[in-house]
């Protein structure tokens, strides 16, 4: 009797919820993970770069160069400028491992101080050369584009003095833009771009010119 009552209750519940005792089938298709990603950045998310496609992949990215410049402050703030350049393979029919990289330049007028909480960067004054791989340059380009960099104001200024300033500059086939940020009062998206560029610069093996 208990089993019969349980079965009747279950049938009534299903009938009330669906309006019918017939089972309904719902097909859910998986969402395309690249649906909202611009085509030029698909290679960053698993599609990869085909044979002899490095030149085309580099060329499709929106920027020729991306730079971060930090000016010193009244205290121990470092002063330097790092610029990352689009790679430009010369022979598209015989692309090599070296074609995965673009140039990178670092000019340091004041080295970092370092501490127990922060790695010293840059370590010394001077001019340095390095390389940036296509995936890092591509991710930085996508971050800048997706963060709405083009819509940011050109200057963000604090109302106090003796603080450091940071300038992010991008240059591409259709023009360029610079955003100056005094004392870090710009939008959080700008801070994210600044930190990402610093992270990329720290990962590069720099050699003195």
The answer, yes or no, to whether the previous bond of 9 is cis (omega within 30 of 0) is: no
The 10s digit of each residue's pLDDT in 127-175 is 999 999 999 999 999 999 999 999 999 999 999 999 999 999 999 998 9
DSSP annotation of 151: G
- Tell me what pLDDT residue 42 has: 94
pLDDT, the chain, mean: 87
| DSSP-based three-state secondary structure for 117 | coil
The 10s digit of each residue's pLDDT in 86-137 is 999 987 778 899 999 999 999 999 998 877 777 788 989 999 999 999 999 9
The full length of the chain comes to 209
Q: In this structure, how many other beta carbons lie within 10 angstroms of the beta carbon of residue 182?
A: 19
Of 136, 142, 55, nearest to 91 (Cα)? 55
Question: Where residue 22 falls among pLDDT bands split at 50, 70, 90?
Answer: low
- Tell me what pLDDT residue 8 has: 42
Of 70, 73, 75, nearest to 194 (Cα)? 70
> Mind listing the domains of the chain with CATH numbers?
54-208 (3.30.1560)
- Tell me what pLDDT residue 10 has: 40
């Amino acid at each position: 009797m208990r089993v019969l009552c349980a079965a009747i209750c279950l049938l009534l519940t299903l009938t009330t919820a669906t309006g019918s005792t017939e089972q309904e089938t719902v097909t859910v298709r998986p969402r395309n993970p690249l649906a909202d990603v611009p085509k030029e950045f698909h290679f960053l998310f698993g599609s990869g770069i085909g044979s002899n496609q490095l030149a085309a992949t580099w060329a499709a990215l929106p920027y020729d160069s991306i730079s971060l410049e930090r000016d010193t402050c009244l205290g121990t703030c470092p002063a330097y400028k790092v610029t990352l350049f689009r790679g430009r393979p010369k022979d598209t029919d015989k692309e090599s491992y070296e074609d995965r990289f673009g140039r990178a330049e670092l000019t340091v007028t004041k080295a970092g101080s370092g501490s127990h909480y922060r790695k010293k960067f840059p370590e010394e004054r001077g001019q340095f050369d390095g390389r940036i791989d296509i995936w890092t340059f591509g991710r930085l380009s996508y971050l800048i584009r997706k963060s709405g960099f083009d819509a940011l104001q050109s200057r963000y200024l604090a109302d106090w003095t003796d603080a450091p300033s940071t300038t992010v500059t991008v240059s591409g086939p259709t023009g360029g833009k610079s955003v100056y940020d005094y004392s870090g009062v710009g939008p959080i998206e700008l801070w994210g771009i600044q930190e990402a560029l610093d992270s990329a610069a720290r990962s590069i093996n720099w050699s003195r010119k």
